[in-house]
Amino acid sequence: MTEKLLNLDAVQAFVRVVEFGSFTLAADSLQTSQEAVSMKIRRLEQDLECRLLERTPRYVNLSTKGSAFLPHARQLLKANSRALSTFVEARQRITVGVSDHVAGPDFPRLIARMNMLSAELQTCIRIGSSGDLLESYDRRELDAVLVRLHTNRTDGVILAEEQFGWFASPQLQLRAGEALPIATLAEPCGVRLMSGALLDEAGIKWSEVFVGGGVATVSAAVMAGIGVAALAPRMLPFGAANVGKKLGLPQLPCLPIALYSRIKEQPGRQMIEELSAMFMATAHSSALK
């Protein structure tokens, strides 16, 4: 009896759908169509003679047999990567910059996922402001950057857009007549410059009361009731209140997450595609909440 051989493209499609919880996002990450992903999943289910996924209009869940197959699917993909890298003399080294306004609280999980995917890569990650990272990228100190788009550049790829808002602790106490207390990142943060300019245009008196070294510290200051911050919702813990309308503050725009990359060779290119897809999925799931 001839042993069946599973199609690795179909196995990869299955794993991506599980990880992103969406056929659409899985297709985007694989640079193919949703229909193609669905066909691969059906083919895999036919080969295994069982249903792997339970699909509803809003959710994709693993079946019992799908849950049992998932760890083996991941092992197959890892084994394939190891086989492809057998004759690679040295690990490819890439340096990636990620804006603090892009990273967010899910970043540790994303880094862990990157490490799983890139055993044959030596990856260096730098967190900083979008402006500083783009300058480093232009000096060829970084191979790829994920930043908030705030220039007229056309050499990047827009991955997602996130609506920013004015957030504060529900316990924030404001005194009549006093300047609006603002918590923000230090210069040269583009969001800091943008939000300050909008407040000035609206004629709203404001004052910096907290300048943090990272979005996590600014979020902590917000939740401590120190001030108001211009942030994307996913950067804040549960319970932060959007106080823009309540305080009559100017509308903040949607700010894109943009990828700039000069990485052409595998496996570095695949890792950047994976990382981009993860941020797309994170921003998408946050927008649905």
> How many whole angstroms from its chain centre is CA 73?
24
Q: Is the pLDDT of residue 172 over 70?
A: yes
Residue 260, pLDDT score: 93
- Superfamily for domain range 165-252: Periplasmic binding protein-like II (3.40.190.10)
> pLDDT tens, 19-75?
888 888 888 778 788 899 999 999 999 999 999 998 877 778 899 999 999 999 999
Confidence of residue 90 (pLDDT cuts 50, 70, 90): low
Domain 92-160+256-288 top-level CATH class: alpha beta
Q: Is the pLDDT of residue 81 over 80?
A: no
CA distances from 74 to 18, 109, 232 (A): 11, 17, 32
Tell me the average pLDDT across 84-106: 77
CA distance 148 to 152: 12
Numbered ranges of CATH 3.40.190.10 in the chain: 92-160+256-288, 165-252
CA distance 157 to 146: 10
Nearest CA among 238, 193, 231 for reference residue 215: 231
- Kindly report the CATH number that applies to the domain delimited by 8-84: 1.10.10.10
Other C-beta atoms lying within 10 Å of the C-beta of residue 287: 15
Mean pLDDT over the full length of the chain = 84
Nearest CA among 38, 113, 77, 75 for reference residue 276: 113
What whole-number percentage of the chain has pLDDT above 70?
90
Q: Is the pLDDT of residue 200 over 90?
A: yes
Numbered ranges of CATH 1.10.10.10 in the chain: 8-84
CA distance 180 to 231: 16
> How many whole angstroms from its chain centre is CA 168?
23
Q: How many residues does the chain have?
A: 289
Residue 286, pLDDT score: 57
Question: Phi and psi for 32 in degrees, rounded to 5?
Answer: -140, -170
Confidence of residue 87 (pLDDT cuts 50, 70, 90): low
Tell me the average pLDDT across 233-260: 88
Instruction: Give the angle subtended at the CA of 209 by the CAs of 104 and 233, to the nearest 5°.
Output: 25
Residue 212, pLDDT score: 85
Confidence of residue 1 (pLDDT cuts 50, 70, 90): very low
Asked whether 44 and 16 are in contact (CB, 8 A), the reply is no
Residue 123, pLDDT score: 82
Secondary element (H or E) of residue 126:
strand 121-128
Beta strand 180-185 with 206-212 is parallel
Q: Is the pLDDT of residue 261 over 90?
A: yes
Asked whether 86 and 101 are in contact (CB, 8 A), the reply is no
Residue 139, pLDDT score: 95
> pLDDT tens, 134-168?
999 999 999 999 998 666 777 888 888 888 999 99
Nearest CA among 141, 129, 137, 164 for reference residue 153: 137
